[in-house]
Structure 1
């Protein structure tokens, strides 16, 4: 069995965000990280986002992001719900990086010619970001796994988590949940 991506602690997320704030493209990197952390986006889904997916015709960040089959891992369309916290994060980014073209990629690399990220280049980007931030074992999958684990820890049912994650099988969702001692302590207190 392959090793699971690290689930980020609150302190590690803060460390990653603090590191991002000191680097070039801070607004973009923060928006990408928070999109995966607060909505459970896969890295490929994040890379594939367009302005039209995220921003409506009035320039406001949507409540829901409708991903097409071409944007998802399993080629199954899905809806990503945008929390108020994520809406604020994305609104801040869109104000700093506006675009009138709804088909334009939301996140671009720093290469000349404004090249959009691919799933692979974004995986590499986050691998190095976490490494340079000093977070051992974290990968581009860590924000998504943390999203699912945090919701499970707060009592969200596995069926809801499965739908939010866009998983076809509940066993896949269950494998994402990192059970920790705090969860077990709360569980035994329920008896």
Structure 2
């Protein structure tokens, strides 16, 4: 059986964000991480997202990101819904970004070009490791996103749509059973 990426609880996510705040490229890295934790994006999707995918013609942050088949896994486009907190995070981040071309990558590497999925995976995995969150990886945010929704009673069908999965069994594999949830379940009897 393969080992799944660790999901973070709220306290651990805050610890991660506190750590990121003290690092180089703190604003960029915070938004990259939050897109996985708050919007359930795959790290490859985060690497592929462009300014024009996030910012509307009037300059405001969109409430959804429409990803093309080339930007996603599985050869089909999908829509990523952004909650109010994520839109506010993106708005703050974009205030410090110089836009030469709306089709430029939302996140630039140190060389000012777009990240590849692999290079962004390495950056994110390094952040988790440096923050002391053993077992966490670039997939932790996406797994945590779905686990948190499940713990709040969101149906698997809705989670499947939000994750962009074609198969419900795939979505169910993402959900982590944390001890507190099991305890709460037996208390319902």
Normalised TM-score (structure 1): 0.96
d(CA) in 2 for partners of 1:27, 1:181: 33
d(CA) in 2 for partners of 1:98, 1:166: 31
RMSD: 1.1
- Count of matched residue pairs: 189
Q: Indicate the residue corresponding to 2:162 in structure 1.
A: 164
1:25-84 residue CA offsets vs partner (Å, 9 max, x unmatched): 111000101111100000000000000000001111001100000000111111100100
Q: 1:178 aligns with which of 166, 169, 176?
A: 176
Q: Indicate the residue corresponding to 1:80 in structure 2.
A: 80
d(CA) in 2 for partners of 1:151, 1:53: 25
Q: Indicate the residue corresponding to 2:150 in structure 1.
A: 152
SS at match of 2:65: strand
d(CA) in 1 for partners of 2:185, 2:12: 25
Unmatched 5+ stretches in structure 2: none
SS at match of 1:45: helix
Q: How big is the shift at 1:115? A: 1.5
Q: How big is the shift at 1:137? A: 0.6
**Runs (4+) off by over 6 Å:** none
Q: How big is the shift at 1:190? A: 3.4
Unmatched 5+ stretches in structure 1: none
